[in-house]
Amino acid sequence: MSGTSRPRPRAILRIHFHPAERTDELYGQLLAVVDGISSRVEPLPADWSAYVDLTGALTYWGRDAEGLVAVLRLRLLALHGVQCSAGAGPTRSIAAMAADATPPGAATVVRDDPYEVAAFLRTKTASALPGIGPKTAKTLARYGITTVGDIADTQLPTLQRILGTTAARLAHDRARGIDERPVVPGAAPRSMSAGHRFDRDELDSGRHHRAVLGMVQELGGRLRTSGEIAQALTLTVTYADRTQTTRNRSLAEHTAHSPALAATARELLTGLGLQRARVRALTIRAERLRPAEHAVRQLTLDPADDKALLIEAVQDRARRRYGKDVIKPARLALRAQHGDKRVSDA
């Protein structure tokens, strides 16, 4: 007697890490823990998460998805003290929706069963479906389509007239639990970060700016020492209640030049309007790093640019020989106020 065997059920995990402080080193360590469960890991460093294909790992570990996710959560907590929120399902979109609906320290698992998938999806609001933003959700609502179930029940030609051919087909498939996108394993994009934690929750915007300037000076020096340039900066602000705000911006020119990094960092900080915010910690991350020889400099007739780069190189040599505090920007050379130490400005 012969027959075709049913394909092995898929199990895709979306995991969000929730550490007290974020560093590149810690993110890499957390990914290593995940890799110990399944080697098919797709890092998403921008929001401290990852996709993991658990399909093969289920057989290897002899556990179902719930059991394997529980093991992973326990390892992350035991080894690094980091809570996570996890969502698992037969597709990337279902895993993402499950993770978004799960608080830190918990997990939501949707098994690869048509009835369970439908029960999970149909009652969700339309905007919960990946690819449906607030504007698209408002457009659908004008036609009485407010839930994922409504999207699944709407005839595809009707949906195409509302959303367009490609967007309608994607939404229609995902609303019915169809999403063939694989998890694409890869290394996390190279980045470098610096952090500053205040002695107490800090209201002084001047100290916020000085902290950011100090971190940028550190990052610039480390980038130049490693022979790398950054293509973007990300600023993360941790508040007194441990909530966080993150903003990022691409640099006008890929660089490791501290003044250029500082200008972008100041724009990010100013744009947040933290005048009345109680800030506990700040983190700056230089992202999408690449070798410095790939840098393309904008041609200029201003000799001041070349002079600034030459001075920066001399400062780097002095810091390597005499210590990082031997030369600092004037703004960081302040009298001792509210815990600031007086430093000499060379």
Residue 324 lies in a domain: no
Does 166 lie in the same domain as 80?
Answer: no
Does 166 lie in the same domain as 219?
Answer: no
CB 262 within 8 A of CB 214: no
CATH number at residue 153: 1.10.150.20
Q: Which residue among 54, 87, 112 closes a domain?
A: 112
Report the distance separating Cα 326 and Cα 274, nearest Å.
31
- Kindly state the tokens that stand for 21: 């402080």
Residue 42 lies in a domain: yes
Structural domain range at position 234: 192-300
Report the distance separating Cα 313 and Cα 322, nearest Å.
14
Task: Indicate if the pLDDT at residue 146 is higher than 60.
Answer: yes
Alpha-carbon dihedral 195, 200, 203, 209, rounded to 10 degrees? -30
CATH number at residue 212: 3.30.1490.100
Q: Which residue among 88, 112, 136 closes a domain?
A: 112
Segment among 4-8, 38-42, 99-103 with least mean pLDDT:
4-8
pTM of structure = 0.60
What's residue 340's pLDDT? 42
Residue 4 or residue 65, greater confidence: 65
Segment among 3-12, 17-26, 41-50, 126-135 with least mean pLDDT:
3-12
Residue 131 or residue 329, greater confidence: 131
Does 240 lie in the same domain as 277?
Answer: yes
Taking CA 283 as the corner, what is the angle to CA 280 and CA 287, rounded to the nearest 5 degrees? 165
CB 301 within 8 A of CB 282: no
Residue 32 lies in a domain: yes
CATH number at residue 19: 3.30.70.270
Q: How many domains does the chain have?
A: 3
Residue 255, Cβ density class (10 Å: 0-12 exposed, 13-18 middle, ≥19 buried)? buried
Residue 316 lies in a domain: no
Does 198 lie in the same domain as 296?
Answer: yes
Summarised one tens digit per residue, pLDDT across range 167-187 is 999 999 999 999 999 998 876
Please state whether beta strands 83-89 and 106-109 pair in parallel, antiparallel, or not at all (unpaired): parallel
Summarised one tens digit per residue, pLDDT across range 249-300 is 888 888 888 888 989 999 999 988 887 788 999 999 888 788 876 555 444 4
Does 94 lie in the same domain as 17?
Answer: yes
Does 201 lie in the same domain as 175?
Answer: no
Report the distance separating Cα 332 and Cα 96, nearest Å.
43
Query: Can you say whether the dihedral through the CA atoms of 300, 305, 310, 313 is positive or negative?
Result: negative
Q: Which residue among 112, 134, 154 closes a domain?
A: 112
What's residue 99's pLDDT? 95
CB 212 within 8 A of CB 194: no
- 3-state secondary structure string, 237-286? EEECCCCEEEEEEEEEEEECCHHHHHHHHHHHHHHHCCCCCCEEEEEEEE
**Crossing angle of helices 205-226/303-322, nearest 10°?**
90
Residue 307 lies in a domain: no
Summarised one tens digit per residue, pLDDT across range 197-235 is 999 899 988 899 999 998 998 898 888 888 888 888 999
> What does DSSP assign to residue 321?
H
Residue 328 lies in a domain: no
Does 196 lie in the same domain as 149?
Answer: no
Residue 129 lies in a domain: yes
- When the pLDDT of each residue in the chain is averaged and rounded to a whole number, the result is 84
DSSP bridge partners of 234: 248, 285
What's residue 252's pLDDT? 80
Residue 277 lies in a domain: yes
